Amino acid sequence: AYKDVITNKAISQKGMITVHKVDDKYYFEVPNTILGREILAVTRYIKVPAIAGNGRGAYGGEVANQQTLTFEKGPNNNIFLRTITLVNAADPKDDIYKAVTNSNLNAIAASFPIAAYGKDSTSVVLDVTDYFKGDNQV
């Protein structure tokens, strides 16, 4: 149940995706309305040392990474986090459309079991602790 996962000790930051910190765990509360929608995630440096960014220098406010992502329902009560590849495209009316689509499958960056459903069942709660503490491209 929601209250068993997101306890009264939770520190929450509301936004498009609500982030909860409970003890040393992090949870995303993803609204059902954004499942399947593309999200542009941009990571910017806030503060940097004098020499950063692979020795070329970097500045506060500079973009470190940007990635288009989507959350989607997977099998067995899982939510997939996919990275969207925007390299090649074809008009759906063209004969080559299917071949281009099959050659540009969007990778599953992570699969999260649903830890709980939101208070009103209009969102899913995912334990993202291991993923975001680990090494990843998102």
Report whether pLDDT(127) > 90: yes
84 domain residue, yes or no: yes
Q: Which domain, by its residues, includes 28?
A: 2-133
129 domain residue, yes or no: yes
pTM: 0.79
Average pLDDT over residues 65-74: 93
CA nearest to 117, candidates 43, 13, 21, 32: 32
Instruction: Show the DSSP H helices in the chain as ranges.
Output: 2-5, 97-102, 129-133
126 domain residue, yes or no: yes
Average pLDDT in the chain: 89
Domain count, the chain: 1
138 domain residue, yes or no: no
Contact predicate 30/17, CB 8 Å: yes
pLDDT per residue as tens digits for the range 102-112: 887 888 999 99
Give the full edge-to-edge strand order of the sheet including 25-31: 11-13, 18-22, 25-31, 123-127, 108-117, 78-83, 63-73, 39-44
- Backbone phi and psi for residue 61, each to the nearest 5 degrees, phi listed first: 95, -15
Close Cβ partners of 103 (under 8 Å, ≥ 6 residues apart):
88
Report whether pLDDT(53) > 60: no
- Cα–Cα distance, 48 to 60 (Å, whole number): 6
